[in-house]
Chains A and B, each alone.
Chain A
Amino acid sequence: MAIRSVSIIIAGSGGAGVITAGALLLEAAARAGWYALMSRSAGPQIRGGEAAALLRIAAEPVASHGDAFDILAAVDWGNIGRFAAEMPLTSGSIVIGDPAEGETPAVIACSGARRLALPMKELAKAVPGGRSNMVVLGALAAMIGLPERAMLDVLARTLARKGPEAIEASTASFRAGMQAGAAFPEVPLPAAQPPAEGSRWSITGSEATAMGAVRGGVRFVAAYPITPATDVLEWLAAALPRVGGTLVQAEDELASINQIIGASYGGTPALTATSGPGLSLMTEAIGLAVAAEVPVVVVDVMRGGPSTGIPTKSEQSDLNIALYGMHGDAPHLVVAPISIGDCLFATQWAVHLAEALQTVAIVLGDQQLGQARAVIARPAELAFVSRRLTCETLAAGQPYRRYAVTGSGVSPMALPGTPGGQYTADGLEHDERGTPSSQASDHAAQLDKRAHKIEAHDYGEHWAQIEGDGDTAVITWGSSTGPSREALSRLLDAGVRARLLAIRLLAPAQPEKLARALEGVSRVLVVEQTHGGQFHRYLRAQYDLPGEVRTLHRPGPLPIRPAEVFDAISDWK
């Protein structure tokens, strides 16, 4: 069934507080029983820039924005042209502006949307301490059928710190807006079932990533800030000490990655988070961790690339460096969450795998997931905790062989402090004892070991999310999953059956499993947010794809829309 929802943008500039307004709206709707998704767009100014809060509210979980927005409410029109492409409007949309802010800009008006006037400034002025953004919220609440109580409770809770006057001012502004909005057309939310207490979370992708790390057992993080990954690190900075862990700010990404390798060598599961430019810096040390078989997790919250790129926007173009960024043959894990909620599981799983296989797991998140907030069902508690194979006691009289070739490829790791387990971890190729070696036999044996341990592991069902049936399959990953899933849901309504394969374990490839999942498929659509079709090329390299293959790929900064995927399939003759 296609998702029934209401999509709203609140835009403004120069301190209008539209992001705050959006967050309040999300929370009020969430507490009243709806699901919601909110992302943000902003200009480059640190403060006072143009900004927009983009929300989608529904009676069921929403993983991505729809094709267009139903309502755009603008506190002012400051530089709104910057976001025009991110706020698709149709003739069925409603645009609300403050007449005191002048004409609706052509770039918005050209959509043919219906225009309404809301005298926000005037209404706000009538209230002591009143603000336009709260007036807007009131009008929106009236239009969508959000109960007043829901917002008032949120205001009381959120503004408690600021005191009763602040609460009163906001409440009054909100009510004034509701009153004005009563005259506006209704854009009603679908009816929501009040969900069970404590059964849902409000969380961003970055928070979920960080939470997944902690659940997985990470207790040491070295941090260097970089947009848009800093949120992950800041959450961990507050959370880790509470569970007995440590976060240290490092001087650069090279220090971060090497510090976590050192901590992990000492026995503590360790992680860092960065974005594309940081991952580039870290690749040498990632290779060291692979060669020395020291487990670490590196989260890459992808942004527009290459180089400095577009730091505040999303893209999926770090796939290549995640897969191939290390010199030499350096097999490792690449895991990618497919939704905001999945950020928790995917990261937790990555920690578990990295520890179990004594290797590096790169978690590919992206800005779209990382910096959006969603209301999700409470994630299940899963028993994927780190379980590193160590050796507490060593066979007497035998020199310890850190890199012994075992059946699984995983050899027990002596932690410093274990008597008799002393060895020197090394990036140099080595023999089973860890002594540097340039011998062909040792190199082959260790390369085989490091490849085998990863290839032979049973990853179970988590390698991909597979849904639906039919002879058409959409293969995708990461944040492209949400719009793809929604498109397939609409196609089903239109009588077209198609499968979705959202791949969570990008490396190592799982050819047998993919072949099984694609049995009966004669048409494959690969969907990704890259300019160069990185994912498609990777699939081609690793997998046999049946029948006819088409690709839907384009770079950021604009998100893939469900309609694009829908059209690509329904137009496919």
Chain B
Amino acid sequence: MDASAAARYTAKDFKSAVKPIWCPGCGDYAVLNALAKALAELGRPPEEIAVISGIGCSSRIPAYTSAYGFHGVHGRALPLATGLKLARPDLTVVVTGGDGDGFSIGGNHFLHACRRNVDLTYLVMDNQVYGMTKGQASPTTAADWEGSKLTPEGTHVNPFQPLVIGLAAGANFIARCFSGDPNNMARIILEGILHPGFSLIQVLSPCITFRPEQMEWKKVVRTAPVDHTGDAARAARRLMSDDGFNVGKVLYKGNRPAFEVQRGERPVPVAQLERMFEL
């Protein structure tokens, strides 16, 4: 986009006046800022952006932006966004939510959204816990985490690996960020928006209240050692041996064309459809 367009908006233009209720120290504040910065650089007016979410702390984000938003039901942000984008391909549609909303109840839609490759950007704020409902294990929680009353002995279930699963299912852009580096996150979000097809961005976003130990993440994360690849097999190998803390880079950029609705030639009058019934 040209410099004049890019300079037209600031991040503030994309934040609403609503004050977030996230706990002070929550990583989602940085994600909101990064999203606002990315949208400012994108250069489209706020009314041409739609932010779609499910249920959870991170799903509150739409109301904190000045874009059009839909706070849907738990796990169904992706189909909501898919329907909107297919009906209104002119809009920029960003989907937001957490690891529970996205990979537990939303898991099926996640798989098919990756397959379908509609031009969406999916920002998952992963804190490996269900924060809103007081701290249960989520699909990305380690199998031996005993911090939940619901699974006091740990889940003993392998954690869900969203990036490698997303890759296998067909996602066209895969990245991992850390909330501690919002400027870089903004860059990657913008890249994801501009990249055609389904862009999957996992953000490690600590939960200060239910996973306070995640405040140590900033000492554990590292900049991903290699740049992105366009080779799915190579990306798969890297992701299979990835420990979940390689952040700050796009990991995979595919070249599948975005799913587009097949539109016929010029639309015919409705009455023409009725000919087949006539005797």
Contact = CB atoms under 8 A, between A and B. Distances in A.
Direct contact of A and B (CB under 8 A): yes
The list of the 6 closest CB pairs from A to B, nearest first, reads A262-B83, A259-B83, A424-B69, A244-B267, A263-B87, A258-B79
Interface string A406-424: 0000000010111111111
23 contacts: A30-B279, A31-B279, A214-B273, A215-B270, A222-B83, A241-B263, A242-B264, A251-B112, A254-B79, A255-B79, A259-B79, A262-B83, A265-B83, A288-B72, A414-B68, A418-B47, A420-B47, A422-B66, A423-B69, A424-B71, A427-B71, A436-B63, A436-B71
A198 interface: yes
Contacts of A200: 278-279
B47 to A, nearest CB: 5
A252 B108 contact: yes
Contact of A288 (B73, B262, B273): B73
A243 interface: yes
A435 interface: yes
Interface stretch (A89-97, A159-167, A266-274): A266-274
B124 interface: no
Interface of B: 18, 45-48, 50-52, 62-63, 66-73, 75-76, 79-88, 90-91, 108-109, 111-112, 261-264, 267-270, 272-274, 277-279
A116 B109 CA distance: 59
B141 to A, nearest CB: 24
Interface in A5-30: 30
Contacts of A425: 69-71
A375 B277 CA distance: 9
Contacts of A418: 47
Contact of B80 (A246, A262, A284): A262
A261 interface: yes
Contacts of A184: none
A416 B273 contact: no
Given A246-B86, A262-B80, A266-B88, A422 B67 contact: yes
Interface stretch (A174-182, A201-209, A299-307): A201-209
A241 B79 CA distance: 20
A191 B277 CA distance: 24
A262 B84 contact: yes
A428 interface: yes
Nearest to B105: A254
A266 B87 contact: yes
B132 to A, nearest CB: 12
A149 to B, nearest CB: 15
Contacts, number: 175
A456 interface: no
Contact of B76 (A246, A254, A417, A422): A254
Given A243-B267, A263-B84, A427-B72, A250 B277 contact: no
A435 B18 contact: yes
A248 interface: yes
Nearest to A246: B261
A292 B278 CA distance: 41
A356 interface: no
Contacts of A435: 18, 63
A428 B18 CA distance: 16
Contacts of B278: 198, 200-201, 378
A559 B80 CA distance: 39
Nearest to A248: B86
Contacts of B62: 424
B87 A201 contact: no
Contacts of B86: 220, 246, 248, 259, 263
Contacts of B72: 258, 261, 285, 288, 427
Given A243-B270, A258-B73, 12 more contacts: A211-B273, A241-B262, A251-B111, A262-B79, A262-B84, A264-B83, A270-B83, A285-B72, A285-B76, A292-B70, A417-B47, A428-B71
Nearest to A201: B277
Interface string A223-255: 000000000000000010111101010111011
Contacts of B71: 424-428, 436
Contacts of A241: 262-264
A416 B70 CA distance: 11
A414 B81 CA distance: 17
Given A255-B112, A285-B73, A416-B47, A207 B87 contact: no
Nearest to B106: A254
